[in-house]
Amino acid sequence: MTENQVEILLVEDNPHDVELTLRVLHKHNLADRIHVVRDGAEALAFVFATSVAHHLKVILLDLKLPKVDGLEVLRCLKTDARTRTIPVVVLTSSREERDIVESYQLGVNSYIVKPVDFGQFRASIQQLGLYWLLLNQHPIH
């Protein structure tokens, strides 16, 4: 897989959450073209250093990240004309009202609190993948 084929960018530093997310997406044939980065700096470098932004269908973004936090990643993505239209879904454990409000003020497309229960987590990821990859219409770049 080349970087130009990536459709999903998963920005997550928790290896367990990465494994669960990938497992669900693969099981439902939704993750053929997914790239995982483990911190905010890596996410920004990946998106802005390549032409991958034109092919991304969705970015799944955790908020509590090392190096550059998720809110700053979101701010950079939504203020740059090259990446502004890429759907960003915050997928986080934070239920803090200020995180939710700031995410929407910065232009997030959806805010999902990660369920603690594995079955609920699995169902959430499956629904998220089905919606953003199959149902949602993306602009042609």
Asked if residue 41 lies in contact with residue 68, where contact means CB atoms within 8 angstroms, the answer is yes
The larger pLDDT score, comparing residue 115 to residue 14, is at 14
Q: 114 lies in a domain?
A: yes
Element (H, E) at 89: strand 88-92
Which band of pLDDT confidence, cut at 50, 70 and 90, is reported for residue 12? very high
pLDDT of residue 17: 92
The larger pLDDT score, comparing residue 32 to residue 93, is at 93
Q: 140 lies in a domain?
A: no
Domain count for the chain, please give it: 1
d(CA 93, CA 82): 28
Entry pTM: 0.90
For residue 46, the enclosing domain spans 3-134
d(CA 70, CA 87): 14
- The answer to whether the Cα torsion of 83, 84, 86, 88 is positive or negative is positive
Q: Compute the mean pLDDT over every residue in the chain, rounded to the nearest whole number.
A: 88
CATH of the domain at 93: 3.40.50.2300
